[in-house]
Amino acid sequence: MPNIAATSPVPLTLDAVEALFNLPFSDLLFQAQQVHRRHFTANQIQISTLLNIKSGGCAENCGYCSQSAHYDTPLVRQGLLAVEEVVNAAKAAQAGGATRFCMGAAWRQPTANDMAVVVAMIKGVKALGMESCVTLGRLDAAQVSDLKAAGLDYYNHNIDTSRDYYDKVVTTRHFDERLATIALIQEAGIHVCSGGILGMGESRRDRAAMLLELATLDPQPQSVPINLLVKVPGTPLANAPDLDIFEFIRTIAVGIILPRSYVRLSAGRESLHDEAQALAFLAGANSIFYGDKLLTTANASSDHDRALFRRLDLQIEG
């Protein structure tokens, strides 16, 4: 396994990462594209599809989330989907070009009955020849073992923001709890998908600290989703100030401190103009969530994505 610090273009310290953020914009993107091409095939993009397999009723109070039971949002609650319905959705995603199928459920931690159904979903997706990913909240060692036995490829567990800013966003769980679940996933040999959300009122230094936290995981996450806050009515962050789009692109580019990680444009992408997405790809983003919906929020349409790929000469991986 390569030494983590040796693979980073800068020392893995907060001051060094923040200095990378502070480079002139063109210099940062130029460096990001160079690092990206050393580790990935140029002009290639990986696409994943995300399905919400259960909506609402979550006991956590994440300030951005429409699914929290703490807030009055427009979300309609939905119980856990049937396995057959999920597998059929995976087949449709595969026909559309997706190579990975991600399943998300709004839980603090799944029950034994929930886990049995999710395990069947994973096995159904794997039988199609697709990579599987789930996000289910906090896990214990036995639950991680069950997911490993089912053949799970990726587990998504975002850290959301920096350690220092975390309690400004959620207070029903602690930052170290997120890291503890990630550690269990890594110990089991399941790939980690972990990133954050931008535009929640955090500072540039918070964004640098979030990326640094991910970069110092050993191993680094194989996939890093970068979300732009979707302002959901009824949540505490519904009126958060807009994040400057160039700050969003800078954050993508500073992802080069995780040089072997896929950086995925995730929630909020439907609000990005084509030009902004093109800059994000130039900055090193090489994965997207594909499909008309992400969990409970809208996403860019598949037809539009394919047209954009053609205009940018991007080839779909796999």
Domains of the chain by residue range: 45-316
Active-site annotation holder among 100, 193, 250, 269: 193
Q: Is 193 a catalytic residue?
A: yes
Cα-based torsion angle of the residue sequence 228, 54, 59, 150 in order, rounded to the nearest 10 degrees: -100
d(CA 269, CA 277): 8
Catalytic hit among 58, 100, 207, 269: 58
State residue 292's pLDDT score: 55
pLDDT at 1: 44
Q: pLDDT confidence of 299, banded at 50, 70, 90?
A: low
On the question of pLDDT at 171 being above 90, the answer is: yes
* Average pLDDT for 163-167: 96
Q: What integer is the mean pLDDT of 41-69?
A: 86
pLDDT category at 160 given cuts 50, 70, 90 is: very high
Catalytic residue at 133?
Answer: yes
Tens of pLDDT, residue by residue over 10-37, are 899 999 999 999 999 999 999 999 999 9
Task: Report whether 235 contacts 199 (CB < 8 A).
Answer: no
Choice among 62, 100, 178, 250 that is catalytic? 62
* pLDDT number for residue 224: 96
SS3 content of the chain, % helix, strand, coil (to 5): 40, 15, 40
- Tell me: pLDDT of 296 over 50: no
> According to the model, what pLDDT value does residue 181 have?
95
Asked if CATH classification 3.20.20.70 holds for the domain at 45-316, the reply, yes or no, is: yes
pTM of the predicted model, to two decimals? 0.90
